[in-house]
């Protein structure tokens, strides 16, 4: 098993197409409801040279209750169906967490997910936080209704208040 972190610009066109096909398979066509951020970083897990698991990272300073907070946004979490249940997504997310903490030096990782994913992320140290969560869209700020989870990366406690991603969601 090999795990590496690469900037989006370092990915070959073939790898980008492969990841995009996975994301469409997992999450459907790009949602017409929202515009989304492009990932800046990708955590790639390969087994015997085959790419089988992936996580995207967006680095951003958002705000909580108007106070700036450096965030590592997690999205695009996907593992090929035939490779699921073997701890590969866990390994990929653990590498993403280490990268956000050690390299990006963010205060918190932040992800949005459906209720059904809370047990999985909770086992990895992610915590559900109250919002509301807002982000930018062409028509202005939007309030997001899915669950927001954070991962403390710098030993701080998550502050209370409205979360603003200060940009597009990831």
* Domain contains 170: no
Residue 32 in domain: yes
* 88 vs 78: CA distance, rounded Å: 10
pLDDT bracket for residue 37 (50, 70, 90): very high
What's the CATH code of the domain at 49? 3.40.630.30
State which residues form the domain around 159: 2-164
| Structural domain contains residue 169 | no
| β 108-113/140-144 pair status | unpaired
Q: What total of structural domains would you count in the chain? A: 1
Counting residues of the chain whose pLDDT is more than 70, the rounded percentage is 98
Q: How confident is the model at residue 33 (pLDDT cuts 50, 70, 90)?
A: confident
Residue 111 to residues 49, 100, 157, Cα–Cα distance (Å): 28, 13, 16
pLDDT of residue 156: 94
Residue 36 belongs to a domain = yes
Contacts 24+ apart (CB under 8 A), 31-36: 34/137, 34/142, 34/168, 34/169, 35/137, 35/138, 35/168, 36/75, 36/168, 36/169, 36/170
Q: Is residue 70 situated within a structural domain?
A: yes
**59 CB burial (10 A radius; 0-12, 13-18, 19+):** middle
Q: Token pair 């809370």 is at which residue?
A: 118
For residue 21, is it within any domain?
yes
Tell me what the mean pLDDT of segment 98-109 comes to.
Answer: 98
Tokens of 2: 């090999």
Residue with tokens 């109250």: 130
pLDDT tens profile 62-72? 999 999 999 99
Is 62 among the domain residues? yes
């Amino acid at each position: 098993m090999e795990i590496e972190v690469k900037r989006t610009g370092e990915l070959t066109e073939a790898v980008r197409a492969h990841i995009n096909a996975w994301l469409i398979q997992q999450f459907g066509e790009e949602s017409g409801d929202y515009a989304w951020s492009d990932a800046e970083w990708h955590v790639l897990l390969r087994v015997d040279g085959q790419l089988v698991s992936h996580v995207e990272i967006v680095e951003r300073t958002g705000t909580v209750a108007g106070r700036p907070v450096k965030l590592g946004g997690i999205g695009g979490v996907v593992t090929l169906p035939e490779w699921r249940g073997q701890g590969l997504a866990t390994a990929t997310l653990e590498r993403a967490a280490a990268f956000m903490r050690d390299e990006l030096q963010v205060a918190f990782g932040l992800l949005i997910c459906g209720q059904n994913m809370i047990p999985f992320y909770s086992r990895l140290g992610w915590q559900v936080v109250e919002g509301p969560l807002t982000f930018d869209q062409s028509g202005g700020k939007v309030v997001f209704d899915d669950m927001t989870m954070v991962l403390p990366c710098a030993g701080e406690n998550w502050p209370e208040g409205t979360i603003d991603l200060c940009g597009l969601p990831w």
